C-alpha cells in the first residue's frame, strides 16, 4: 500500500493523478479463514483491522451483503461524544474517543475527526439536574464535560435563541469540548484500506445465508451467496440485521430493529460551530464540512427493516430545529434517509460471547453506534482473538439479560444516543 | 406514516392515533415467581424481531384506547391484517380478505387464554 502524504499528492498532481491505486483489494474468497466477520460497516472492518494489527491474526475475511459502509456507517449523523452516565458506557465510549483522536494518523487516512464540541441543551429543571449529574459523573471519571449558562451557550453557538419568551426556553447547557464529528465514509474506507493492506479479505456483495455448526454445536463457518466459507470463529457485527444473522445460529438476542431518520439541508456558508442536541424537544444538528446542516430525527415506534421511516418523525424534529434556531426556517432540506438501528431493552450495546462456541456478537448499538466505532471494533477484536471480553467491555455481555445486571442508559440517554 | 385499521372502531386511522405495543402472543407465565432466570429472560427480553411477517400488538390510544393485534410485513411496513385482542394468532389471508368478525372482545377472551 502506498502511503498517503502531501508528497503523494504532489507526485500525483504532476502525473495527472494516474498513479493512485485501489484502496483495498477484492479477492476471491478462500475456502476457510481463521476468523470471519459478518458485516462490513465501521465496526466490522475496524475489528478486522485490529485483529490484524494488535493480535497478529491476518487470515480474516469481512463479509458484506451490500457495499462497505452502506448501512448505518453511511447513514448516521456522525456525532462523537463520551459523556455517558454509567461506568460501563463511559469505559467504552471514552476508549473510543481516545482512539478517534489518533485515528487518522493510525490509519494513514483522513477521517476528518473534528472535536468541535457537543452541546446538550437544558430546557427545564429536570434537564438541568440530569445534565449536572452527568457532568459530575463524567468529571469524576476523568471525562471532560462542563456546565454553561444560557449566555455562555449563546457565546459558543451565536445562532442559538436563548430568549426567555422562546417556545423552548434554555436554562443552560452541557458541553463536551472533545466531542464532535468525523467523516463517516472515510471511517469505513480507512479501516478497509488499512485492513486490506494487512492481508484481510474484504468480500462485498456476498450475503451470509446461514451459519453452519458442528456436532458439538460449535461454529464451522458460514453459508453465503457465494458458497460455504469455513471458520472456527465468526464475529457478527450486522447492526440492524443482527437478529436475522444470529437466528441462523439459533441464538435469540433481545433486539428491536427500528428505522432512524436523518436529513441534510442545502449547503450553507459556515454558520454552525459545533453539535447541538436537545433531548427534550428531540432535535440535533451540526454542519458538515461541505456546509450542509446535518439533522437527526427520531426512531419509528415499530419494528421495521424498511430503511425509510414516517414523515411525522422528521417534521417533528424540524419543528424543534426551527424554534431553537429561527434563522434556519428558510433553509431547504435536500435529502432524507433512514437506517435500521438495533435497540436493546436497556439501550446499551451487546458485545460478548454467545451460547454457541466460536460465535461472537457485537450488536445493539442502537441509535449511537458511530461514535463507538473505533472502541467497539478494538474491543471486539480483543474478544474474538482471546475468546473472552476485554475489561472495558466486560459489562456489555449478552448474559446480563439473564442476570439482570442491566446498564440502564435509557433514562439518561441523549437523543443522538 | 402508517394507516392502521382498528378492528374495534372498524376504520382506517393515521398512525398518530396508535401506539406500538410490542410482539403479540407472548403469554405471561402463570406463576412468574417460580420460573428460572432463563425463562424470565425469554419471556421478558428475547423477541423474534422478524424480517418479514411479524405479529405485534398495537393500542388505539387516541381513539378507543383498546389493544389489538396486527400481522405486518416489516420490510414493506404493509399491514396484512389486524384482529381483536384475545383472538389466537391468525393465518394471514392470501388475498387480503379481512378477518371473520367477532361480536365482542369479551366473548373470545376466555378462548384465547
In a domain, A10, yes or no: no
Task: Express each pLDDT in A83-110 by its tens digit.
Answer: 999 999 999 999 999 999 999 999 999 9
Tell me the sheet residues that pair with A261.
A338
Angle, nearest 10°, between helix axes A87-107 and A184-197? 70
Select the residue of A304, A310, A345 nearest B74 (Cβ to Cβ).
A304
Alpha carbons A362 and A370: distance in angstroms, whole number? 13
Chains A–B, number of C-beta pairs less than 8 Å apart: 67
pLDDT score for A57:
98
Q: With contact defined as beta carbons under 8 Å apart, do A280 and A185 qualify?
A: no
- Per mean pLDDT, which range of A80-94, B1-15, B93-107 is the poorest? B93-107
User: Do A137 and A241 reside in the same domain of the chain?
Assistant: no
Model confidence at B113: pLDDT above 80:
no
pLDDT score for B99:
43
> Closest approach of chain A CAs to the CA of B76, in angstroms?
6
Residue A177 per-residue DSSP state: T
Model confidence at B98: pLDDT above 50:
no
User: Do A161 and A265 reside in the same domain of the chain?
Assistant: yes
CATH number at residue A337: 3.30.9.10
Cβ of B75 within 8 Å of Cβ of A306? The answer is yes
Select the residue of B37, B49, B77 nearest A306 (Cβ to Cβ).
B77
Whole-model pTM?
0.92
In a domain, A412, yes or no: no
Please tell me whether the interface predicted TM-score (ipTM) of this complex is above 0.95: no
pLDDT bucket at A410, cuts 50 / 70 / 90: low
Cβ of B38 within 8 Å of Cβ of A402? The answer is yes
- Per mean pLDDT, which range of A34-38, A59-63, A312-316 is the poorest? A312-316
pLDDT score for B10:
95
What average pLDDT does this structure show over A134-162? 96
User: Do A168 and A273 reside in the same domain of the chain?
Assistant: yes
CATH number at residue A236: 3.50.50.60
Select the residue of B1, B38, B49 nearest A303 (Cβ to Cβ).
B49
> Using a CB-CB distance cutoff of 8 angstroms, which residues of chain A are in contact with residue B40?
402
Cβ of B48 within 8 Å of Cβ of A252? The answer is yes
Model confidence at B102: pLDDT above 50:
no
Q: With contact defined as beta carbons under 8 Å apart, do A351 and A362 qualify?
A: yes
Give the range of the structural domain holding residue B45, as residue numbers without chain letter: 3-112
Interface of B with A (CB under 8 A): 1-2, 15-16, 19-20, 37-38, 40-42, 44-51, 54, 56, 72, 74-77
User: Do A246 and A145 reside in the same domain of the chain?
Assistant: no
- A153: Cα separation from own chain's centroid: 27
Domain count, chain A: 2
pLDDT score for A139:
97
pLDDT score for A1:
83
Cβ of A244 within 8 Å of Cβ of B74? The answer is no
pLDDT score for A414:
45
Alpha carbons A226 and A121: distance in angstroms, whole number? 49
What are the grid coordinates assigned to B86, written together?
384475545
Task: Express each pLDDT in B11-68 by its tens digit.
Answer: 999 999 999 999 999 999 999 999 999 999 999 999 999 999 999 999 999 999 999 9
**Backbone φ, ψ for residue B11 (5° rounding):** -155, 160
Cβ of A310 within 8 Å of Cβ of B1? The answer is yes
Q: Kindly report the average pLDDT of chain A as a whole number.
A: 95
pLDDT bucket at B95, cuts 50 / 70 / 90: low
> Closest approach of chain B CAs to the CA of A199, in angstroms?
34
Alpha carbons B18 and A149: distance in angstroms, whole number? 39
> Using a CB-CB distance cutoff of 8 angstroms, which residues of chain A are in contact with residue B42?
252
pLDDT score for B112:
47
Alpha carbons A98 and A165: distance in angstroms, whole number? 40
Nearest to B98 by CA among B63, B70, B67: B70
pLDDT bucket at A14, cuts 50 / 70 / 90: very high
Residue A336 per-residue DSSP state: E
pLDDT bucket at A409, cuts 50 / 70 / 90: confident
Report the run of H or E that residue A244 belongs to, with start and end: helix A242-248
Give the range of the structural domain holding residue A356, as residue numbers without chain letter: 22-109+183-254+346-403
Residue A114 per-residue DSSP state: B
User: Do A94 and A209 reside in the same domain of the chain?
Assistant: yes
CATH number at residue B38: 3.30.2270.10
Q: Give the end of a domain, one of A295, A314, A343.
A: A343
Model confidence at A282: pLDDT above 70:
yes
User: Do A199 and A248 reside in the same domain of the chain?
Assistant: yes
Report the run of H or E that residue A362 belongs to, with start and end: strand A359-363
Cβ of A312 within 8 Å of Cβ of B16? The answer is yes
Task: Express each pLDDT in A240-280 by its tens digit.
Answer: 999 999 999 999 999 999 999 999 999 999 999 999 999 88
> Using a CB-CB distance cutoff of 8 angstroms, which residues of chain A are in contact with residue B51?
241, 243-244, 257, 305
pLDDT bucket at B93, cuts 50 / 70 / 90: confident
Select the residue of B15, B16, B74 nearest A303 (Cβ to Cβ).
B74
Domain count, chain B: 1
Cβ of B76 within 8 Å of Cβ of A303? The answer is no
What average pLDDT does this structure show over A141-161? 96
Cβ of A345 within 8 Å of Cβ of B72? The answer is no
Cβ of A312 within 8 Å of Cβ of B15? The answer is yes
Q: Give the end of a domain, one of A343, A371, A386.
A: A343
Model confidence at A376: pLDDT above 60:
yes
Model confidence at B107: pLDDT above 50:
no
User: Do A266 and A378 reside in the same domain of the chain?
Assistant: no
Cβ of A312 within 8 Å of Cβ of B77? The answer is no
What average pLDDT does this structure show over A179-193? 97
User: Do A91 and A188 reside in the same domain of the chain?
Assistant: yes
Spatial CB neighbours of A50, under 8 Å, sequence gap ≥ 6: A377, A378, A380, A381, A382
Residue with cell 448501512: A71
Model confidence at B105: pLDDT above 60:
no
> Using a CB-CB distance cutoff of 8 angstroms, which residues of chain B are in contact with residue A340?
none
Spatial CB neighbours of A92, under 8 Å, sequence gap ≥ 6: A349, A372, A375, A376, A379, A392, A393, A396
**Scanning every residue of chain A, which has its alpha carbon at the shortest distance from the alpha carbon of B46?**
A254
User: Do A337 and A193 reside in the same domain of the chain?
Assistant: no
A347-359: b or e for each residue (b if 16 or more CB lie within 10 Å)? bbbbbbbbebebb
Alpha carbons A5 and A10: distance in angstroms, whole number? 9
**Scanning every residue of chain B, which has its alpha carbon at the shortest distance from the alpha carbon of A241?**
B51
What average pLDDT does this structure show over A337-357? 95
Amino acid at each position: 500500500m502506498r502511503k498517503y502524504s502531501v508528497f503523494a499528492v504532489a507526485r500525483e498532481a504532476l502525473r495527472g493523478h494516474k498513479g493512485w491505486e485501489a484502496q483495498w483489494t477484492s479477492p476471491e474468497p478462500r475456502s476457510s479463514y481463521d476468523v470471519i466477520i459478518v458485516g462490513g460497516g465501521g465496526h466490522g472492518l475496524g475489528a478486522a483491522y485490529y485483529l490484524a494489527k494488535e493480535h497478529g491474526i491476518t487470515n480474516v475475511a469481512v463479509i458484506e451483503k451490500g457495499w462497505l459502509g452502506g448501512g448505518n456507517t453511511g447513514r448516521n449523523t456522525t456525532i462523537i461524544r463520551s459523556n455517558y452516565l454509567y461506568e460501563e458506557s463511559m469505559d467504552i465510549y471514552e476508549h473510543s474517543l481516545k482512539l478517534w483522536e489518533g485515528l487518522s494518523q493510525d490509519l494513514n487516512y483522513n477521517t476528518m475527526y473534528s472535536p468541535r464540541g457537543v452541546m446538550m441543551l437544558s430546557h427545564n429543571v429536570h434537564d438541568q439536574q440530569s445534565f449536572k449529574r452527568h457532568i459530575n459523573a463524567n468529571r469524576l471519571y476523568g471525562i471532560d464535560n462542563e456546565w454553561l449558562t444560557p449566555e455562555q451557550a449563546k457565546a459558543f453557538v451565536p445562532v442559538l435563541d436563548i430568549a426567555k419568551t422562546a417556545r423552548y426556553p434554555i436554562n443552560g447547557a452541557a458541553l463536551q469540548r472533545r466531542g464532535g464529528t468525523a467523516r463517516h465514509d472515510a471511517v469505513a474506507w480507512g479501516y478497509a484500506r488499512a485492513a486490506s493492506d494487512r492481508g484481510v479479505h474484504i468480500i462485498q456483495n456476498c450475503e451470509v445465508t446461514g451459519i453452519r455448526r458442528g456436532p458439538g454445536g460449535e461454529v464451522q463457518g458460514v453459508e453465503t451467496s457465494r458458497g460455504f466459507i469455513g471458520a472456527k470463529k465468526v464475529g457478527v457485527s450486522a447492526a440492524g440485521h443482527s437478529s436475522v444473522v444470529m437466528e441462523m445460529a439459533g441464538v435469540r438476542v433481545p433486539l428491536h430493529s427500528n428505522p432512524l431518520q436523518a436529513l441534510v439541508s442545502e449547503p450553507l456558508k459556515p454558520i454552525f460551530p459545533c453539535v447541538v442536541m436537545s433531548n427534550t424537544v428531540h432535535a440535533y444538528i451540526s454542519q458538515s464540512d461541505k456546509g450542509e446542516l446535518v439533522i437527526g430525527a427520531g426512531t419509528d415506534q415499530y419494528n421495521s427493516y424498511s430503511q425509510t421511516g414516517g414523515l411525522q418523525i422528521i417534521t417533528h424534529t424540524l419543528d424543534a430545529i426551527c424554534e431553537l434556531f429561527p434563522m434556519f426556517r428558510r433553509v431547504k432540506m435536500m435529502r432524507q434517509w433512514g437506517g435500521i438501528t438495533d435497540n436493546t431493552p436497556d439501550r446499551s450495546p451487546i458485545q460478548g460471547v454467545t451460547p454457541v462456541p466460536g460465535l461472537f456478537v457485537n450488536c445493539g448499538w442502537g441509535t449511537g453506534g458511530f461514535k463507538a466505532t473505533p472502541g467497539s471494533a478494538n474491543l471486539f477484536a480483543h474478544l474474538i482473538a482471546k475468546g473472552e471480553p476485554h475489561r472495558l467491555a466486560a459489562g456489555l455481555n449478552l448474559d446480563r439479560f439473564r442476570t439482570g445486571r442491566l446498564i440502564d442508559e435509557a433514562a439518561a440517554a441523549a437523543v443522538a444516543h | 406514516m402508517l394507516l392502521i385499521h382498528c378492528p374495534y372502531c372498524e376504520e382506517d386511522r393515521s398512525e398518530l392515533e396508535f401506539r406500538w405495543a410490542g410482539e403479540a402472543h407472548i403469554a405471561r407465565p402463570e406463576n412468574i415467581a417460580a420460573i428460572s432466570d432463563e425463562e424470565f429472560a425469554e419471556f421478558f427480553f428475547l423477541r423474534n424481531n422478524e424480517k418479514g411477517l411479524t405479529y405485534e400488538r398495537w393500542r388505539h390510544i387516541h381513539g378507543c384506547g383498546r389493544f389489538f393485534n396486527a400481522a405486518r410485513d416489516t420490510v414493506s411496513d404493509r399491514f396484512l391484517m389486524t384482529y381483536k385482542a384475545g383472538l389466537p394468532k391468525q393465518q394471514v389471508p392470501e388475498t387480503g380478505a379481512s378477518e371473520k368478525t367477532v361480536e365482542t372482545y369479551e366473548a373470545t377472551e376466555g378462548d384465547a387464554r
